[in-house]
Amino acid sequence: MRRRYNNHTNVDKDIPEIAQLWICRVLVHLGMHKKFIEKTRLDNDSLAFAIGMSEWVDKNSDDYNAIECLSELKRIHASLERKVKKITLPKSLATNIAHLTKLVGLNDTESTVLAFAVMLDTISPIETVTDYLGNLTTIKMCRSLSVILDRPENEIKEALSMQGILHRSGLLTIDRQCQSMDYKIDLLTNTFADTLISTIASPNDYLKGVVTPSSAPELSMDDYEHIQPFIDILQPYFSHTLKTARRGVNILIHGAPGTGKSQFVKAFSHSLGCELFDIANEDNEGDSVNGERRLRAYSLAQNFFAKRRAILFFDEVEDVFASENPFFGKKSPAQSRKGWMNKTLEENPVPAFWVSNAIGQIDPAFIRRFDMVFELPIPPKNQRTKIIEQNCSGLIAAETITRIAESEQLSPAVVARACAVIDSIKGEIPQHELTASFERLINNTLKAQHHAPIPKHKASELPAYYDATLTNADIDLIAIADGIKHADSGRLCLYGPAGTGKTAYGRWLAEYLGKPLILEKVSDLQSMYVGETEQNIARAFERAQEAGALLMIDEVDSFLQDRRNATRSWETTQVNEMLTQIESYCGVLIVSTNLMDNLDPASLRRFDLKAKFDYLKPEQAVTLLSRCAEQLKISAPNERENRDIQQLKTLTPGDFATIMRQSRFRPLTEVAQLIRALESECNLKPETSKAIGFY
């Protein structure tokens, strides 16, 4: 059913003459008068008012004459054609088109096409008359525009081609799936046309809704000490880029959500004194902006800010690079325009940061075109502690901060949001409940991310009675620590029964060396997805290297099992990856295992030293018994009790640690109780055939 307008306001005065001319060319030159001028009346009243034929509106059948009406139309058209050289665009539109022409480098035909597209979007009679043209292929549309705009058809085709500046800049694209002209011609944003025709705008106005000035950073470069090696490369590279106007500068940052990627880009840009502009993923009305339109906005911003000291920030790039539906072969915007995308990355005048939460979804062909690619990891423990202290502003006790910082998955964003909530309610709840509320908020987020909650106790804290000399090893542990401190490197394999102090020694050594500790467990590194375990292994070594940390891997036999016994390909690849990483690692590495005989023979030569940890010597057991009694504030052991403790042949430092933890809820009041508890722990071990039973 054809659209009819019933507004009889004399709107012809509000319609620019250039619009009237284009309307008349559609009606006369393209023969659409046959649809406009019906036998008994005009098809569209508003169209009649637009071109000055208001007297023909609502004429009764006796007064209406279609032939005379056509003659009037031709007269109006001829008059407009005679003064065509004096017809100009509306002032605001003309100024903005001239500005865009200079910024982007449009030719005369491209400028005219853009002006027509703007008026098609904002002046309804133009949309109405082009609807008469019906379904249009791209070729037919170019022919029609050639007539309407009085431009050679080949120039129109070039202006609307994918290689043309209008398309490459993002100002205008042709949707080949649509058939009506107003839908086939797609401008940058929904408000773009209104902006150009209503006011003399600035580049920021043109890009409103898709490119916005970035907000001020909440963090500083001091908060990113854990990636200082990367910063040491990035800063001079950008200084050189800005000084020489180097083109094709693109940096890809990836990492888990909440690690501070966006804040880093903001802090870095601020440190350089550069304007930072975000490629928006939501418009002013909160509606999402798709990847195709974001790429167009990025292209246009490249033109607009080429001569400014600016940086572009393209966050959440998955909607650009990742396939929307890989099962049905649906390509991403970047994949469907691969050549254009590659050229964009190679020639952009404004340096850009691209940020992703899932780099695995990006085509490797695109990745290699970035100047730098780096992962922003969750900060190490010392940095996490600093972030919590800065955000909490004295709200949380120091002991609690230290314990919360133990969480290996605690990202800056989680901390910042939890602290913001606590700060807002600190006057509403008792002071002593703030800590519990803070932990609850963080734990809820960690749980939702499928991470372990904050440990109730400081997991890495050594017992007060710990002494490396009270570990039964076949090497001098103190001397080894001094040697590693001097060399600042070393790869140790610690093996022996569970609880003999292998992990505790790793923790002690990290403190002795003054290095942060990164403790990785098998459960942390293993993944159900093929290839991801190998990536996790590589990432753990990389993270430790960058942080200058001591890397400790517990139960390493899971990753160094004898390949001759492997039944699945991924078992072999995991061993290969672990061996490769160990071989190339130049920091301090400790691996531990209870199953030395199961290790792949090739792994043994990767270690500088293999140390056996065993059950406590009698004299060590006696010393530990005395120190634990002192900590428990019970009487010192007597000679009989010292003899009794020496009878426990499978006693380990881990047994003492277990009993000391139990004492928090099962108080021990005498040494005899402590010995009985230790005996029970020993009796649970497969090495102990029966209880000693000396009581």
User: Nearest CA to 301 among 288, 289, 312, 292?
Assistant: 312
Between the CA of residue 384 and those of 416, 434, 459, what are the distances in Å? 11, 19, 15
> Where is pLDDT greater, at 601 or 457?
601
Over range 358-377, report the average pLDDT: 85
Helix or strand run (H / E) with residue 93 = helix 91-100
pLDDT band at 426 (very low <50, low <70, confident <90, very high): confident
Of 209-218, 386-395, 485-494, 559-568, which has the strongest mean pLDDT? 485-494
Mean pLDDT, the chain, whole residue set = 86
Task: Tell me the pTM.
Answer: 0.67
| Distance separating alpha carbons of residues 504 and 460, to the nearest angstrom | 8
User: Can you read off the two tokens belonging to residue 597?
Assistant: 């005989």
Q: Could you please report the per-residue DSSP string of 123-170?
A: -HHHHHHHHTT-S--HHHHHHHHHHHHT--HHHHHHHHSTTSHHHHHT
| Model pLDDT, residue 286 | 63
Please state the φ and ψ torsions of residue 552, each to the nearest 5 degrees: -125, 130
pLDDT in tens, 10-23: 334 579 999 999 99
- Which segments within 298-425 are labelled E, that is strand? 310-314, 352-356, 372-375
Asked which of 58-72, 103-117, 356-370, 390-404 is least confident by mean pLDDT, the reply is 390-404
379 secondary structure, DSSP code:
P
- pLDDT at 210 > cutoff 90: no
| Distance separating alpha carbons of residues 354 and 333, to the nearest angstrom | 15
| Model pLDDT, residue 685 | 86
577 secondary structure, DSSP code:
H
| Model pLDDT, residue 565 | 60
Asked which of 237-251, 279-293, 297-311 is least confident by mean pLDDT, the reply is 279-293
User: Can you read off the two tokens belonging to residue 553?
Assistant: 């891997």
pLDDT band at 500 (very low <50, low <70, confident <90, very high): very high
| Distance separating alpha carbons of residues 556 and 589, to the nearest angstrom | 12
Question: What are the beta bridge partners of residue 472?
Answer: 614
Q: How many CB atoms lie within 10 A of CB 93?
A: 23
| Model pLDDT, residue 293 | 85
pLDDT band at 147 (very low <50, low <70, confident <90, very high): very high
- pLDDT at 271 > cutoff 90: yes
Q: How many CB atoms lie within 10 A of CB 432?
A: 8
| Model pLDDT, residue 652 | 95
Ordered alpha helix ranges (H), 172-245: 181-184, 192-198, 203-206, 228-244
Over range 465-478, report the average pLDDT: 92
| Model pLDDT, residue 554 | 87
- pLDDT at 691 > cutoff 50: no
Percent helix, strand, coil in the chain, to 5, is 55, 10, 35
- pLDDT at 460 > cutoff 70: no
pLDDT band at 692 (very low <50, low <70, confident <90, very high): very low
Return the exposure string of 274-293: e unless at least 16 CB atoms fall within 10 Å of the residue's CB, then b.
Answer: bbbbbbbbebeeeeebebbb
CA atoms within 13 Å, Cβ hemisphere of 310: 22
| Distance separating alpha carbons of residues 660 and 4, to the nearest angstrom | 87
- pLDDT at 249 > cutoff 70: yes
| Distance separating alpha carbons of residues 300 and 319, to the nearest angstrom | 18
Strands ordered across the beta sheet of 472-473: 472-473, 609-614, 490-495, 588-593, 550-553, 517-520
Please state the φ and ψ torsions of residue 591, each to the nearest 5 degrees: -120, 150
Bridge-based pairing state of the strands 352-356 and 250-254:
parallel
Asked which of 95-99, 125-129, 205-209, 502-506 is least confident by mean pLDDT, the reply is 205-209
Bridge-based pairing state of the strands 352-356 and 172-174:
unpaired
| Distance separating alpha carbons of residues 458 and 438, to the nearest angstrom | 17
3-state secondary structure of 564: helix
User: Nearest CA to 122 among 62, 182, 169?
Assistant: 182
- pLDDT at 566 > cutoff 80: no
- Percent pLDDT > 90 in the chain is 47
- pLDDT at 552 > cutoff 50: yes
Q: How many CB atoms lie within 10 A of CB 220?
A: 14
Over range 300-321, report the average pLDDT: 89
> Where is pLDDT greater, at 252 or 336?
252
pLDDT band at 450 (very low <50, low <70, confident <90, very high): confident
Contact between 356 and 366 under an 8 Å Cβ cutoff? The reply is no
User: Can you read off the two tokens belonging to residue 16?
Assistant: 């620019």
| Model pLDDT, residue 671 | 93
| Distance separating alpha carbons of residues 314 and 144, to the nearest angstrom | 38
3-state secondary structure of 499: coil
| Model pLDDT, residue 393 | 67
Contact between 103 and 303 under an 8 Å Cβ cutoff? The reply is yes
Question: What are the beta bridge partners of residue 187?
Answer: 172
Bridge-based pairing state of the strands 609-614 and 472-473:
antiparallel
Bridge-based pairing state of the strands 172-174 and 310-314:
unpaired
